[in-house]
Structure 1
Amino acid sequence: MGIAGKTVIVGVTGGIAAYKAAELVRLLVKAGASVHVVMTKAAEQFIGAVTFQALTRHHVHCSVFTDEKEGQIAHIDLADHADLIVIAPATADTLARLAAGRADDMLTAVVLAARCPVLVAPAMNSNMYQHPAVQHNIKLLADYGYHFIGPESGKLACGWTGKGRLVAPEAIAARATEFFMEQQEKDAPLRGKKILVTAGPTREGLDPVRFFSNLSTGKMGYAIAEQAARLGADVTLISGPVQLDAPPNVTIVRVVSALEMRAAVLRDYQNVDAVIQSAAVADYRPEEAHAQKIKKQDGPLLVRLVRNPDILKELGLKKEKQILIGFAAETENLEANAKRKLETKHLDLLVANLAADGFATDTNKVTFYFANGRYEPHQRLPKHEVASRICAALAALFEESECQ
């Protein structure tokens, strides 16, 4: 969450407050950001590039001409990979050149090419800050979409007391983090929703060392649970026996048999907003589970199987406000079987695939069948991408239900 893992460019310009940029960079790096420093020539008169290189473990960019690598345009590459640009301190001269759309040094070229948010922290003499030209440039940049923090009032390096002092590095780092928190709020369409996901196979015991099961790995369900949590949902994952690590920020309930999975699902069903039933639940179980290992005998071993409860159908019959998503793995007549299952089990969405396209692989080729008759075929994709599309479809179903 927050700034961890994000790429932040810190632009340092030629003011006495440039030394404070070192603390800002340290704080951003400590918070987990990948920080790249771009310095103006004037900034180098106040603080050395080696300081920032030591703090960031990245090359410091000082010139648009000498920083090129083969096959790379340095300022474009930096701009393309940036999640946020912070200019601290931002001098009156830098504000003027940014307002004019200049690109005559590395910093202004990067900013002009970037499509990420730009956070500007001005620092200068108070008379300079109050000058109509500087105020005009600040307003113009704000109209362009630049964000400003500060300056503060106080004792200035020039001896004056007034507005123009750089905001504390801690405050700038906190504001930078807020950008990503705000973005995550926008990118969290499932926030506030409680979602139940089932995953993996079930095992139906025959004796203490043998069981009936299937080829499900649980990868699809685990990917769905992880993506739903990433989109803000409160996720409970009910998992059959798998060899997978629990997804982050997910409550996991481990079960073995179909009866255990049914009990776990029904226990939480009335309290959730949606169920995504991706588990491959065994349709049958041995009528008798032997307490001791069955010994080899001459002739065939006959095992009588009985039906397991149809969890998905039961959920459909009990459905009130919940959105219900099921899966169907078929070996033939995919469309006909999928539409029948969609209707008989009262689903809002059925994700269908041929068994050969999804079982025991890292990819899946699925078709979405919706209750309103719409369907969406998808090309073969990694399961995490399929999970992303399922969660997007769920978010759209929530939006539709809330508009009715």
Structure 2
Amino acid sequence: MQAKKILLAVSGGIAAYKTPELVRHLSRSGAEVVPLLTANAHRFVTPTALQAVAGRPVLSDIWAAEAADGMGHIELARMADVLLVAPASANLMARMAWGMADDLVTATWLATRAPVFVAPAMNTQMWEHPATRRNVALLQEMGVSLIGPDVGEQACGEFGPGRMTGPAEIAGIVLGSFGDANVGTGALAGTRVLVTAGPTREPIDPVRFISNRSSGKQGFALAAAAQRAGADVT
């Protein structure tokens, strides 16, 4: 997967501290990860930390000298095999949904034709607000793939949906989107593998159900490992 380039757009949220781990998971496959930070993301994760694990400079200023002729977002958009936004704050998703292009991340999002994955992270009340639900629906109508969010305890002390999905699971989904790149070339060549992951629900009646708190991390990790070994994974 040496030729694959993943743009990792990081927005301002407490979950941004997990992004160095996410970069490591993505890089293990051989993909090249290019970190893009919004202005607020700098408050939660340092460019130095991301640069250390990505092995390349972190980009955040649309007017930076590296953006030759002020068209850096166009070059990024063209080179991307995938655009991954993680964590995606309510603010960034709103700007994406309504076509804003006022920084490097949103301008790149509008210019790219690569598959786009968004991993939301925010307070439960913000996630469930009608405005956020509308923005999510708009993004999905435009072909954006949603990863999560997970249900769990949040930094604010509340419990509910809004936690960013774990780095290993996000990486497994994104790397799996590259399809048959490794099929037929490893120890599991010719093998078809079906993996189920995540929580299950069994209804008790029309209102209640029994479920579990499975994150799906192990299932996604197994799927990614099988694919790297050459299996045709579903």
User: Is the 8 Å Cα contact of residues 62 and 70 (structure 2) preserved in structure 1?
Assistant: no
What is the 5 A alignment of 1:177-216?
177-181=175-179
* Structure-1 residue corresponding to 2:62: 64
- Looking at structure 2, the residues matched to 144 and 170 of structure 1 have their Cα atoms a distance apart, in angstroms, of 26
* Structure-1 residue corresponding to 2:139: 141
- Looking at structure 1, the residues matched to 161 and 103 of structure 2 have their Cα atoms a distance apart, in angstroms, of 28
Root-mean-square deviation (Å): 2.0
* SS of the residue 2:177 aligns to: helix
Q: CA deviation at 1:4?
A: 4.1
Q: Residue 87 of structure 1: which of 85, 92, 95 is its match?
A: 85
- Looking at structure 2, the residues matched to 111 and 102 of structure 1 have their Cα atoms a distance apart, in angstroms, of 10
- Looking at structure 2, the residues matched to 32 and 137 of structure 1 have their Cα atoms a distance apart, in angstroms, of 33
* Structure-2 residue corresponding to 1:96: 94
Q: CA deviation at 1:5?
A: 2.7
* SS of the residue 1:181 aligns to: coil
The 3 A distance-change label for structure 1 pair 144 and 54 is same
Q: Residue 159 of structure 2: which of 151, 158, 161 is its match?
A: 161
- Structure 2: any 5+ residue segments left out of the alignment? 184-189, 191-229
* SS of the residue 1:142 aligns to: helix
- Tell me, yes or no, if structure 1 residue 28 matches structure 2 residue 41: no
The 3 A distance-change label for structure 1 pair 136 and 69 is closer
Q: CA deviation at 1:184?
A: 8.1
Q: CA deviation at 1:166?
A: 0.5
The 3 A distance-change label for structure 1 pair 182 and 108 is farther
What is the 5 A alignment of 1:171-320?
171-181=169-179
* Structure-1 residue corresponding to 2:199: none
User: Is the 8 Å Cα contact of residues 67 and 73 (structure 2) preserved in structure 1?
Assistant: no
For residues 337-372 of structure 1, give each alpha carbon's deviation from its aligned partner in whole angstroms, at most 9, with x where no partner exists. Answer: xxxxxxxxxxxxxxxxxxxxxxxxxxxxxxxxxxxx
* SS of the residue 1:119 aligns to: strand
* SS of the residue 1:163 aligns to: strand
* SS of the residue 1:180 aligns to: coil
- Looking at structure 2, the residues matched to 104 and 183 of structure 1 have their Cα atoms a distance apart, in angstroms, of 35
The 3 A distance-change label for structure 1 pair 183 and 101 is farther
User: Is the 8 Å Cα contact of residues 151 and 162 (structure 2) preserved in structure 1?
Assistant: yes
- Looking at structure 2, the residues matched to 34 and 164 of structure 1 have their Cα atoms a distance apart, in angstroms, of 28
Output the TM-score relative to the length of structure 1. 0.44
- Tell me, yes or no, if structure 1 residue 37 matches structure 2 residue 42: no
* Structure-2 residue corresponding to 1:108: 106
User: Is the 8 Å Cα contact of residues 67 and 74 (structure 1) preserved in structure 2?
Assistant: no
Q: CA deviation at 1:164?
A: 0.3
Q: CA deviation at 1:71?
A: 5.3
- Structure 1: any 5+ residue segments left out of the alignment? 186-191, 193-248, 250-404
Output the TM-score relative to the length of structure 2. 0.75
* SS of the residue 2:83 aligns to: strand
* SS of the residue 2:156 aligns to: coil
Q: CA deviation at 1:94?
A: 0.3
- Looking at structure 1, the residues matched to 145 and 160 of structure 2 have their Cα atoms a distance apart, in angstroms, of 22
Does 1 or 2 have the higher relative contact order (CA < 8 Å, sep 6+)? Answer: 2
Percent identity of equivalent pairs? 42
Q: CA deviation at 1:68?
A: 3.6
Q: CA deviation at 1:73?
A: 1.8
- Looking at structure 2, the residues matched to 168 and 127 of structure 1 have their Cα atoms a distance apart, in angstroms, of 20
Aligned length: 186
- Looking at structure 2, the residues matched to 150 and 30 of structure 1 have their Cα atoms a distance apart, in angstroms, of 22
* SS of the residue 1:52 aligns to: helix
Q: CA deviation at 1:54?
A: 1.1
Give the AA of the match of 1:58. Answer: R
Q: Residue 52 of structure 2: which of 51, 54, 63 is its match?
A: 54
Give the AA of the match of 1:155. Answer: E
* Structure-1 residue corresponding to 2:11: 13
* Structure-1 residue corresponding to 2:198: none
For residues 230-250 of structure 1, give each alpha carbon's deviation from its aligned partner in whole angstroms, at most 9, with x where no partner exists. Answer: xxxxxxxxxxxxxxxxxxx9x
User: Is the 8 Å Cα contact of residues 61 and 67 (structure 1) preserved in structure 2?
Assistant: no
The 3 A distance-change label for structure 1 pair 120 and 67 is farther
Give the AA of the match of 2:41. Answer: A
User: Is the 8 Å Cα contact of residues 121 and 149 (structure 1) preserved in structure 2?
Assistant: yes
Give the AA of the match of 1:159. Answer: G
